[in-house]
Structure 1
Amino acid sequence: MPRRLIFLPVLALIAVVAGIGLMLGGRAATTTETEVIERMAARYLADAGAGAARSDCEARPAVSDDLWLVVACGDYEYFVDAYGRLVHRNAPGVAS
């Protein structure tokens, strides 16, 4: 067995890890605040039901290092991480 074949699995692992890193980095870099606010506003409309409006929503920077934005819509708050994912939700009548 040639010596260079021994390093083939290591090179494959490095390529996979690099691909995952590029994918996650690209996702974080291309997610905009507007997209996140629109997505959380749509979630708010589904959660709150009748009487809810997109104009109820506003966003502010999160205080926590692990979070990016807090989207507040009426009595609802949506906490979003750097990848645009919902991490936590405060809602009326829901125990945190």
Structure 2
Amino acid sequence: MPRWLWFTPLALLVVAVAIWAFRLGWIAVTISESDVINTYAQRYLEEAGSTALLTDCTGLPGTGDGVWIIVRCTQAELQFDYPVDRFGRLLDLPDGRTQPGVPQT
């Protein structure tokens, strides 16, 4: 068995990790605040019901480790918070309906 054949699995692993790292970097560079706010505003529309509007949602700077943006949607007495990381992932599932003025942790 040729010696180079022993290193083929290692070479394939290195290539796979390089492609994965490039993909994550590409996502981090191309995602914008508007993309994140629009995505979670659409989710809010699905969760809040027929009286919800896109204009109920705003984006706030993240507060805490790994939180990039907090998409806050407020409708009358209901408040939905969506903490989002730099890759657009939801960090905590929102506990949904909370009273205004109650801090979200």
Q: Shorter-chain TM-score: which interval?
A: 0.7 to 0.9
- TM-score w.r.t. length of structure 2: 0.81
- TM-score w.r.t. length of structure 1: 0.88
Mind listing any 5+ residue stretches in structure 1 that lack a counterpart? none
Which residue identity is paired with 1:53?
Answer: L
Counting aligned pairs with the same residue, the percent is 38
For the pair 1:66 / 2:70, whether they are aligned, the reply is no
Runs of 4+ in 1 over 4 A off after TM superposition: none
Query: Secondary structure in 2 aligned to 1:59?
Result: strand
Query: Secondary structure in 2 aligned to 1:87?
Result: coil
Give the superposition deviation at 1:7.
Answer: 1.6
Mind listing any 5+ residue stretches in structure 2 that lack a counterpart? 99-104
CA–CA separation in structure 2 for the residues paired with 1:16 and 1:91? 38
The aligned runs of 1:1-96 (5 Å cut-off) are 1-74=1-74, 75-88=79-92, 89-92=94-97
- On the 8 A contact 1:78/1:90 being kept in 2, the answer is no
CA-based RMSD: 1.6
